[in-house]
Structure 1
Amino acid sequence: MFPEYDVIVVGAGHAGCEAAHAAAKMGAKVLLCTMNMNTIAQMSCNPAMGGVAKGQIVREIDALGGKSGIISDKSMIQFRMLNRSKGPAMWSPRSQNDRMRFAEEWRLALEETPNVDFWQEMVSGLTVKDKRVIGVRTGIGIEIKSKTVVLTNGTFLNGIIHIGEKQFGGGRTGEAAAKGITEQLVGLGFEAGRMKTGTPPRVDGRSLDYTKMEIQHGDENPEKFSYSDDTEPLKEQKPCWITYTNKDVHEALETGFDRSPMFNGRIQGLGPRYCPSIEDKINRFAERERHQIFVEPEGWNTVEIYVNGFSTSLPEDVQYKAIRKITGFENAKMFRPGYAIEYDFFPPTQLKLSLETQLVENLFFAGQINGTTGYEEAASQGLIAGINAARRVKEESPFLLKRSDAYIGVLIDDLINKGTEEPYRMFTSRAEFRLLLRQDNADLRLTQLGHQIGLADDKRLEKMLDKKNDTARLINDLKQKRLSPETINEGLEEFDTATVKEKITVEKLLKRPQLGLEKIMELDHDLKDYLSKFNKESREQAEIQIKYESYILKEQQMVEKLNNMEDFKIPLTFDYLKIPALSAEGKQKLNKIRPETLGQASRISGVSPADLSILTVYLGR
């Protein structure tokens, strides 16, 4: 009935979609298995993409040739660049999206991708022979052969939904949990754990009083995620709103604490620290009189509203009573209550940097199965797993991103070497080279790599090279171009910065914190005419590289030092237990994670500097 596939992807969430698209685009024959064809790429939680550090990840996926950026652009209803008041390392693109259009665009994109087949049914197990995966087994007993398998099960593995004292099996509201895979993997020697996440109630937007809330518009000149010409910036945007909880809301919520599954011990899994439920917030921060609530439309043509900041698993009657005490929500009608969901995950220290498992050859894990949270984190892992599954089939070396290459590299390196005991979320603070890993230069960093592996097309590469060359030419010209005091001093006074007594280069003016290229353009008409020949991206790139030149140089020097350790390979058969001078914890951690380089070994939790020195001596021998 079925041919043998190169790659079977189990699960069609954000990770599964990216994995299937990437593997197929690289020439692999792919089967995407999902329990429901109508929920492909479902935005299970908030209808948004990007945000702090997450927006950088979406741009990186796009730069490599993935699809999340393009799908986000096509389904966008609002765009904002967060942290504009801070330095460029912190600028983070974020979009509100039309939930239904997002899922539809992903499905259409996959259906238009040659080499992708679909199968709607639960996968209940793997076919494993001699510690190598050779296919999957479905719930009705069909066995489908494959050279590689990518598991992207999300919250479905033995998922349990909690609403107050009620609990029932499910991977998402209205959908069944997946059974069998966890038990089989544990039988094969994998370590499993439990995590939890949650979602807020959805309400009828027609029942809200927006006049009592603060309106939140998108950017005046919205950008987009994708570097390609396949999408256009929004010409029209839909607003969001902000409101707040209050003392009455908190008191109403507290009446249900005795029935809360989070407080009475029924939920065993750890939830995301940085996205707590509303009951957790008012319990942990009892001194706070109010908490912010973001009122987010679910799409262009729906009245459904996502109540961001009000994630909860309290009984539905308590949720209803409390939500109607929020300013503007006095007459709110609920579409469905919020809930918490517990699910199985597998500590990611059991993986290689390629996201292939250490215990079973040709088996890859991506997304929440690895203990992460967030669409963007999942999509980036799916992309890397899909790439490496396709390369495994071709017997090519794994595609790996270093910490200095991308936020995706930081994410995977953190997971493999440090593991996670709570849902892992990406932040700019996790990246030590964040000034190099900006959202504006992801194409300059990664498109050539994506092109080399057959994911980013020739058009992408050509566009990136044009930007790179234009930026280099512009930087060189700005270092040469000199402006006279007579032309610019009056403007410098208006911009509250020191006047000059002799000609000064545009480069030196750009180093001043009060000045940017847009302001300097207003000082000299000839300069403005010249700069107008370059597009906005090249001008922005030149400005950032000149203004932060010394800081960028310092980070590049740190990267070079790190790369010396990354180039120091450790044989996979190296026996750490035979080095008596290593600490007991060092031996245990090194033996478990099996680092591929000295640099990776240096980032393993529990491996001391002394262990590293000893290891270096032994490897040197």
Structure 2
Amino acid sequence: MFDKEYDVIVVGGGHAGSEAAAASANMGCKTLLITMNLQNIAQMSCNPAMGGIAKGQIVREIDAMGGYSGIVSDTSAIQFKMLNKSKGPAMWSPRVQSDRMRFAEDWRLMLEQTPNLDFYQDMVEGIWLEKDKLKGVKTGLGLKIKAKSVILTNGTFLNGLIHIGEKNFGGGRAGERAATGITSDLIELGFEAGRMKTGTPPRVDGRSLDFSKMVEQPGDENPAKFSYLDVTQPLKNQRSCHMTYTSNLVHDLLREGFDRSPMFNGRIESVGPRYCPSIEDKINRFADKDRHQLFVEPEGWNTVEYYVNGFSTSLPEEVQYNALKSVKGFENVRFFRPGYAIEYDYFPPTQLKHTLETKLVDHLYFAGQINGTTGYEEAASQGLMAGINAALKIQEREEFILKRDEAYIGVLIDDLITKGTEEPYRMFTSRAEYRTLLRQDNADFRLTQKSFDIGLASEARLKRMNYKQEEADKMVQFFKDTSVAPEEMNPILEAHNSAPVKQAGKMFKIFARPKMTLETMRSVKVVEDYIETHKLDDEILEQVEIQVKYSGYIEKEKNNADKLNRLENLKIPDNFDYFKLQSMSMEARQKLSEIKPTTVSQASRVSGVSPADISVLLVYMGR
């Protein structure tokens, strides 16, 4: 069946694997996606949602580069919210509640319509090498499949172990077996492995819940969407989520099972996600709080299954059930399945290059939870970048690396490679030092041209981005060039408690005032006439408002980024011997020798490397 050689084999059909397969295939590489169950491609293993704080920015970036996550998020959405709208635009983060079954179906159908992409259902049990050169993969059915490059996106399946109370059993996800063989193969090759854990809450029957006792959480009144393309449309109808709370009684009932909790009795020794703790972890760490929020999220348009967000747990199922029954609205709850914790193997990401290719084996790439991350969006972005770089390497073209001032994806990968992670890594806006530049609204400006240049983003996508950018720039210039008379402007300023002007002045300066919005400026006839004449949509108008209101902040961050990029351009020679720099600390020499950063800027971000160490390096390099 497999006498030919593939350009790229992608192992695993989750979010990372799906984006990796789509990217390499769309860049012209003959690609094989091999996964244990083709019915579960792009399965939402945990919550039925995409986006959120910083994660929404990542989905927009994936879409801007021609990935599929944004489009599928739109076609399967049941609710849309722009989070943090009360804060500045650097914090705005889109999020959709998804129809879990439709999400997986839409992903499958899009992948099936992708040229150059084949599928095969089997377990990959090892990497096939000959004379230290990658030849392909070995499968559970005894097949050897040839490939020039292999991308491992195994999620939580590598030696996965599921815990519910004192019970545990092998599995990569509820109802699915674990993947074996790959870890031992990689360790034998010299890779370092570790264990992490994550968890998920119970799924419950919505017919057994009393939503009248909960607080309704509707979507946005005027919902937007994820994809920049016109192939998807904003939602016309939405499903609400609901919110309720735990209580001291619920906490007491949960505590009764702590002695049988695998987290507290030592059965689980690996580290879980700090920012998405289990309910038992929350009531243990935050003992002073008498309640915690629970978000009750529908799993789709028509299903009665609900996800209890905030109640992730691995306690015995009867403890979960008794405690949840004491939550308002859950008095008659019926379970579809209990929550559980899962432990799995990962490989510390300091063993990778910024392309996500391993340092030990050429043409072997890791993406997703195998690198110690958590979250669909983080996984999908790594898959996209691994797929791109695997294709570029085969085509003998320059590698594609995003900098920290270019994308949240760049921040994510740089953090993983230079700092590593000992707990599941989750993206936050606070991790990005240039978040004013990395907004969700301008991901296409930042990334579409770059992606088009390497052959991924389509010409239609590029044209749409160029039109939006040109029209936004023209209107910003219009505000800079156009003056308004005091008699027309002052009544508007006074109505908004803003100081009147004494003489005609440029509208840009007035618009930049704190209390002035584009809606306010449209009261000036010449502004409304401009918008009507040019038929500008909300997306362009939002871009104009941000560029005017935050021009000072944006310019300042660009200057700071330029300073950093001077160090980014200082390349460190391959196999540089740090141990000859006697003035550098021993810790820095050891860390830099291990991680092998390619630029001085990357070296400066390695944990344990001080500014003094970087000064020594700069002096040695003649700077």
TM-score bracket for the superposition, by shorter chain length: over 0.9
Aligned to 1:185: 186
Partner residue in 2 for 1:528: 528
Given that 1:131 and 1:359 are in contact with CA atoms closer than 8 Å, whether structure 2 keeps it comes out as no
Residue 539 of structure 1: aligned partner: 541
Matches within 5 A, 1:387-426: 387-426=388-427
SS in 1 for 2:97: strand
Structure 1 residue 519 displacement after superposition? 1.7
Does structure 2 conserve the Cα–Cα contact (< 8 Å) formed by 1:197 and 1:340?
A: yes
User: How many angstroms apart in 2 are the aligned matches of 1:238 and 1:506?
Assistant: 42
Give the TM-score, by structure 2 length.
Answer: 0.98
Deviation string 1:104-153 (CA, Å, 9 cap, x unpaired) is 00000000001111110110001012333210000121000000000000
- Tell me, in whole angstroms, the C-alpha distance in 1 between the residues paired with 2:8 and 2:452: 21
Per-residue Cα deviation, 1:515-535 (whole angstroms, up to 9, x for no partner): 1111221x2233212123322
Q: Which residue of 2 aligns with 1:366?
A: 367
Please say if 1:279 is aligned against 2:280.
yes
Within 2, Cα distance between the matches of 1:305 and 1:384?
33
- Structure 2: distance between partners of 1:362 and 1:154: 20
Bigger Cα displacement from structure 2, 433-442 vs 495-504: 495-504
TM-superposed CA distance for 1:586, in Å, is 1.0
Moved more, 337-346 or 248-257: 248-257
The match for 2:605 among 571, 596, 603 is 603
How far apart, in 2, do the equivalents of 1:68 and 1:105 lie?
10
Q: Is the 8 A contact 1:122 1:178 kept in 2?
A: yes
1:485 Cα offset (Å): 2.7
For residue 471 of structure 2, what is the aligned residue in structure 1? 470
Letter in 2 for 1:235: K
- Residue correspondence of structure 1 range 494-573 to structure 2 within 5 A: 494-521=495-522, 523-532=523-532, 533-573=535-575
For 1:518-571, what per-residue CA distance to the aligned partner results, in whole angstroms no more than 9, with x for missing partners? 1221x2233212123322122211111111111111111111111111111111
Using the TM superposition, name which of 41-50 and 611-620 deviates more. Answer: 611-620
Q: Which amino acid counterpart does residue 577 of structure 1 have in structure 2?
A: F
Q: Which residue of structure 2 lines up, in the alignment, with residue 577 of structure 1? A: 579
Question: For the aligned residues, what is the CA RMSD?
Answer: 1.0
Q: Is the CA contact 1:479–1:505 (under 8 Å) kept in the aligned structure 2?
A: yes
Q: Deviation digits for residues 171-195 of structure 1, max 9, x if unmatched?
A: 0000000001001111111100000
1:270 aligns with 2:271: yes
Q: Deviations over 1:568-592 (max 9, x none)?
A: 1111121222222221111111111
2:527 aligned partner, one-letter code: L
Q: Which amino acid aligns with 2:493?
A: L
**Conservation of the 8 A alpha-carbon contact between 1:199 and 1:339:** yes
For 1:241 and 1:498, the matched residues in 2 are separated by 44
Check whether the contact 1:312–1:340 (CA below 8 A) recurs between aligned residues: yes
Structure 2 equivalent of residue 133 of structure 1? 134
Give 1:494 shift.
Answer: 2.5
CA distance in 2, matches of 1:526, 1:189: 68
Amino acid at match of 1:541: Q
- Show the counterpart of 2:114: 113
SS in 2 for 1:242: strand
Number of the residue aligned with 2:164: 163
Structure 2 residue aligned with 1:214: 215
- The C-alpha deviation readout for 1:451-473, integer Å capped at 9, x for no partner, is 00111011111111111111111
Match of 1:8 in 2: 9
**Aligned ranges for residues 481-492 of structure 1 at < 5 Å?**
481-492=482-493
Number of residue pairs matched by the alignment: 620
Aligned 8 A contact 1:149 1:362 in 2? yes
Q: Identity percentage over the alignment?
A: 65
Which of structure 1's runs of 4+ aligned residues deviate more than 6 A? none
Distance 1:409 1:131 in 2: 30
Q: Does 490-499 or 194-203 show the bigger shift?
A: 490-499
Deviation at 1:7, TM superposition (A): 0.3
1:322-401 map, 5 Å: 322-401=323-402
> Helix, strand or coil: the match of 2:621?
helix
User: In the aligned structure 2, how far is the partner of 1:133 from the partner of 1:396?
Assistant: 19
Give 1:32 deviation, angstroms.
Answer: 0.3
CA distance in 1, matches of 2:156, 2:620: 43
One-letter identity of the residue aligned with 1:567: N
Secondary structure, aligned partner of 2:238: coil
- Would you say the 8 A contact 1:252–1:322 is kept in 2? yes
Counterpart amino acid of residue 55 in structure 1: G
Alignment map for 1:191-206 (pairs within 5 Å): 191-206=192-207
State whether structure 2 residue 158 is matched by structure 1 residue 154: no
Deviates more, 1:146-155 or 1:572-581: 572-581
Q: Output the amino acid matched with 1:121.
A: D
Q: Distance in 1 between matches of 2:18 and 2:135?
A: 21
1:234-287 per-residue CA deviation (whole Å, 9 max, x = no partner) reads 111111111111111111111100000000110011000000000000111111
Q: What is the alpha-carbon distance in structure 2 between the residues aligned to residue 159 and residue 268 of structure 1?
A: 14
Which residue type is aligned with residue 618 of structure 2?
Answer: T
CA distance in 1, matches of 2:174, 2:53: 28
Cα distance in 2 between the residues matched to 1:286 and 1:363? 46
Task: Tell me what 2:589 maps to.
Answer: 587
Q: What is the CA deviation profile of residues 351-391 of structure 1, one whole-angstrom value per residue up to 9, with x for unaligned ones?
A: 00000000111000000000000000000000000000111
Deviation for aligned residue 1:495: 2.1
Secondary structure of 1:196's partner? strand
- State how far apart, in whole Å, the 2-side matches of 1:568 and 1:78 are: 46
Secondary structure of residue in 1 paired with 2:462: helix
Aligned 8 A contact 1:131 1:361 in 2:
no
Aligned to 1:317: 318
Amino acid at match of 1:530: Y
Q: CA offsets per residue over residues 368-422 of structure 1, 9 Å max, x none?
A: 0000000000000000000001111111121100001100000000000000010
1:440 aligns with 2:441: yes
Partner of 1:144: 145
Q: Deviations over 1:204-231 (max 9, x none)?
A: 0011111111111111110000001111
TM-superposed deviation, 1:513: 1.3
- Pair 1:230 & 2:231 matched: yes
Residue 303 of structure 2 corresponds to residue 288 of structure 1:
no
Counterpart CA distance in 1 for 2:575 and 2:418 is 18
Q: 2:453 matched to which residue of 1?
A: 452
* Corresponding letter in the other structure for 1:272: P
User: 1:608 & 1:476 partners in 2: Cα distance?
Assistant: 44
In structure 2, distance between residues paired with 1:17 and 1:170? 21
State the alpha-carbon separation in 2 of the partners of residues 542 and 491 from structure 1. 20
How far residue 167 of structure 1 moved from its aligned partner, in angstroms, is 0.2
Q: Report the 3-state secondary structure (helix = DSSP H, G, I; strand = E; otherwise coil) of the residue aligned with 2:34.
A: strand
Q: How does 1:4-83 map to 2 (within 5 A)?
A: 4-83=5-84
Query: 1:73-112 residue pairs with structure 2 within 5 A?
Result: 73-112=74-113
CA distance in 1, matches of 2:131, 2:445: 43
Is 1:132–1:363's contact at 8 Å kept on the other side of the alignment?
no
- The amino acid across from 1:421 in the alignment is E
